[in-house]
Amino acid sequence: MSLVVLGGSVSPFVRKVRTVLAEKGLDYTHEQVNPFAPPEGYREISPLGKIPAFKDGDKALCDSSVICAYLEKKYPTPALYPSDPYDYARALWFEEFMDGGVVTAVGPKVFFPLVLQPLFSGGTPPSAEVEAQAKQTWEETVNPLLAYLEK
């Protein structure tokens, strides 16, 4: 297989790349990489040590948005980005907003305490306080995006 996604399954950035691959109907392999303990040589393909990284034969890329843009150019059908210039720019903005805004807030304040922490602790559910904090983060971070979408 020449297309390989490297990164942890739970990462939203890895899931974004895997979603693009699935939507385009592309076969690929997925190699688990823990960004906190990456394999030797990983920084050769991901200089910042972040996930995901991506291989297409002997070519390597890193950063989910870059990987998705590459896949869109190399495999243009089905198109996942709009062809209209304004709509295309808006789609890029939403992608950046999610990657740089929502994920950075929702990841540590919603996903980690509600999903990952219970997994790491053997299934102990989050406290009511943790759930309330997660709900507040969601309302302050995601709801403005939803309101913006309705404009």
pTM: 0.83
Using one digit for the tens of pLDDT, what is the confidence trace for 71-123? 999 999 999 999 999 999 989 988 888 888 788 888 888 988 998 889 888 88
Residue 28 φ/ψ, nearest 5 degrees: -160, 165
24: three-class secondary structure by DSSP: coil
149: three-class secondary structure by DSSP: helix
Which structure tokens are listed for 132?
Answer: 């309330």
CA distances from 2 to 28, 60, 73, 74, 80 (A): 7, 11, 17, 13, 22
The continuous run of DSSP H or E covering 130 comes out as: helix 128-149
Helix 64-74 vs helix 85-96: angle between axes, to the nearest 10 degrees? 150
Whether the CB-CB separation of 110 and 134 falls below 8 Å is answered with: yes
Which of 2, 60, 11, 5 is closest to 30 using CA atoms? Answer: 5
Residue linked to tokens 């305490």? 113
Sheet holding 29-31, edge to edge: 29-31, 3-6, 53-56, 59-62
Distance CA 27, CA 127 (A): 41
Which structure tokens are listed for 1?
Answer: 């297989």
Using one digit for the tens of pLDDT, what is the confidence trace for 21-72? 999 999 999 999 998 899 999 999 999 999 999 999 999 999 999 999 999 9
